[in-house]
């Protein structure tokens, strides 16, 4: 039979009020920043699609466009990772954890 244990599985340091407010502000900032980064990514993605339409585009503009798309792809990915890390930190707090878990 399984045992039911009370409390979180791993010990987690609880955030105090200023730390929680700072974490919430950082999550709010990264959400807004991700909207901006995704919009710029879409803009550069459309410009890369134009490269195929206009074959007479100068090589330096073509190279710059591809580099900018790579940059914004990396920025969106890093922003998504940061957001996931912040949410994981927030959800690891004891007030968001279940009050029990099962031991198999």
pLDDT in tens, 39-75: 999 999 999 999 888 888 899 999 999 999 999 999 9
Taking residues 80-85, what's their average pLDDT? 94
Task: Tell whether pTM > 0.85.
Answer: no
What ranges do the domains of the chain cover? Answer: 31-98
Rounded CA-CA distance 87/35 in Å is 17
pLDDT in tens, 10-22: 566 677 888 888 9
Q: Which residues contact 3 (CB under 8 A, 6 or more apart)?
A: 102, 103
């Amino acid at each position: 039979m399984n045992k039911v244990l009370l409390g979180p599985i791993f010990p987690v340091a609880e955030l105090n009020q200023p730390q929680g407010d700072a974490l919430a502000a950082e999550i709010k900032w990264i959400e807004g920043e991700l909207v901006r980064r995704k919009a710029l990514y879409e803009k550069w993605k459309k410009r890369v699609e134009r490269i195929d339409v206009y074959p007479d585009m100068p090589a330096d503009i073509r190279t710059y466009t591809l580099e900018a798309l790579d940059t914004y792809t990396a920025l969106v990915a890093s922003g998504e990772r940061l957001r996931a890390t912040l949410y994981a930190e927030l959800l690891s707090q004891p007030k968001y954890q279940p009050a029990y878990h099962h031991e198999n």
